[in-house]
Chain A
């Protein structure tokens, strides 16, 4: 499998911004994949693997976030992350790890 590098900008449409549930879902999606994922807001960048760090980016509704993914499934991971910023959660993702 070849390494791909993806950089995608999303606008946060979830009326609550990136909240605790979003952050948890992000870490799960990233945890299941094989790519390294970072989130960037303006000049701040954090690994998308830890809830506290994601929350500390403080992403408010209407703001832009960049998803940076490097790895064999970078595009798939980015695809799976995108709806989370719109507040669309797949409950299978959220509970999957503990099922």
Chain B
């Protein structure tokens, strides 16, 4: 058994078969052949070598005729490498002695040769591995024939393990069969994290290198709550995770009837539970859980992985689908929250040493007005289809908000000139995710229609912790008293002015914090859709005076650990299940 600690980015735990994706596509999983099939499989390998050799020789002749023998030498070398007697002996031994499938045996042996080069510091030497991969690919193509396409075509549930996943890789995966993700690199904002959360499957990122220890096909556990990946789990561990999965299933079944009941405390205080979504299809997850709306519709997916800037029509389609599906319930659309590096057709900033503190989100929008205006036009056009709200991310000064509103007013005028309908009274608000915005909340409330506390960034900026950095991630804590003070200031400012305030960070989705947040005065929680039933369950078990007492006591504490332990004890009083 081998345990790897990474960063938990999408909750839940899952046991399943590993599928390794690397730069070459899917790694060939370890498969075995029957004892009596060994002779046939050896012949199959032999035929594949023969066919690959003929193919390489054709290439050699063609290149030689066109460019001369000197340029054809590389193919001659490939041919020699393919027919290397030691290599063949090694592959044949694995088939004969260990009963590996020829595909896996080839992949295994070739990778060992390639690793010799890949370990080298010098990049020109490391590149020699490419010649070996080239031969491997050729052999595999002959071994697999048409089945090669079939590997990408999943037919059974798998856990996808990769160094990193690109948007095109994840989009090529059949969603019905992917049950979890692990990537060696990446942090909470990575593409994998976003997709996993949207698919509601567990994911762990940033584990560091481990893929050389996995061939694919073996049993792996992904624990997206603890950020753990367990390779070759022992029976005891498997049994424990199976038990937990069973309990979770039972809890989910128990919570199902809550769908059509209001989120209301025992003493009748109404709470609104909304969903955070990234992709349009997630609106269905919100509806399934009985959400009161979409409290955060992230729009980054429209830009990520796109070849060019998305057109107004693409924006409009994505927004109208969600707005219409939610009927008259609110949909809060957040304008793009990205750095310049992730945006197509936006000039790279010259200084990008510290992207989190650099030109991104609303700052980038205000510097690239055409891109910003395209998005605003589409949102405004969708505003007549339902109950649309517009939210600006990472606002840190009043001036930024005023500027953004001016751009919005300008776009409105433009739409009016073209006789395009829109809702002139569309509510406009900001994310409170910088300490600056929280401390100025009493001023912001004079000008905005609503506030939404984005805890993920607020924690990062308040505590000066990058939660993608394993060395300091322990300092990242939603209930650090410094963070709680800023949250309290924001809620109080909104209450005094009588404007709505919600919370849309991960904190609001954890049942552990529900009592505290209710006690602090929060009545609107925007959470990942799968968290709605559990948060609702807590709401229905507690009464406001109890929550207020919890909040008051919490605010006297001086460190996050004490707060967390205290909250666990309190929640235990009302719930059998203590959330982590």
Contact = CB atoms under 8 A, between A and B. Distances in A.
Nearest to B110: A52
Given A56-B113, A56-B116, A98 B125 contact: no
Contacts of B565: none
Interface in A42-69: 50-53, 55-56, 58, 60
A94 B113 contact: no
A16 interface: yes
A50 B80 CA distance: 7
A46 B186 CA distance: 42
**Residue from B64, B70, B76, B116 with most neighbouring chain A CB atoms (10 Å):** B76
B80 A60 contact: no
B81 interface: yes
Contacts of B128: 19-20, 55
Interface in A61-99: 91, 94-95, 98-99
Given A50-B85, A52-B81, A55-B128, A98 B116 contact: no
Interface residues of B, number: 23
A58 B125 contact: yes
A29 interface: no
B552 interface: no
Contacts of A98: 64, 69, 76
Interface string A9-48: 0000000110111011001000000000000000000000
Contacts of B73: 21, 24, 94-95
A24 B69 contact: no
A50 B113 CA distance: 14
A24 B75 CA distance: 10
A60 B77 contact: no
Contacts of A20: 74, 77, 128, 131
B76 A52 contact: no
Nearest to A99: B69
B117 interface: yes
A25 to B, nearest CB: 8
Contacts of B81: 50-52, 55
A68 B182 CA distance: 49
Nearest to B60: A98
B124 interface: yes
A60 B131 contact: no
Nearest to A96: B69
A51 B84 contact: yes
A55 to B, nearest CB: 7
Nearest to B122: A60
Contacts of A60: 120, 122, 125
B116 A58 contact: yes
A50 B117 contact: no
B87 interface: yes
Given A19-B128, A21-B77, A60-B125, A53 B70 contact: no
Contacts of B76: 24, 98
B86 interface: yes
B110 to A, nearest CB: 10
Interface string B124-166: 1100100110000000000000000000000000000000000
Nearest to B86: A53
Contacts of B131: 20
Contacts of B74: 20-21
A52 B125 contact: no
Contact of B84 (A17, A19, A53): A53
A23 B116 contact: no
Contacts of A16: 124
B124 A52 contact: no
Interface string B50-92: 0000000000000010000110011011001100111100000
A92 to B, nearest CB: 10
A46 B76 CA distance: 20
Contacts of B117: 55, 58
Contacts of B122: 60
B114 to A, nearest CB: 10
Contacts of A94: 69-70, 73
A24 B116 contact: no
Interface of A: 16-17, 19-21, 23-24, 27, 50-53, 55-56, 58, 60, 91, 94-95, 98-99
Listed from nearest, the 6 A-B pairs whose CB atoms lie closest are A95-B69, A52-B84, A52-B81, A51-B80, A24-B77, A20-B77
Interface of B: 64, 69-70, 73-74, 76-77, 80-81, 84-87, 113, 116-117, 120, 122, 124-125, 128, 131-132
Given A50-B85, A55-B128, 8 more contacts: A23-B77, A24-B80, A27-B80, A50-B81, A52-B81, A52-B84, A58-B125, A98-B76
6 contacts: A19-B128, A20-B131, A51-B81, A91-B70, A94-B73, A99-B69
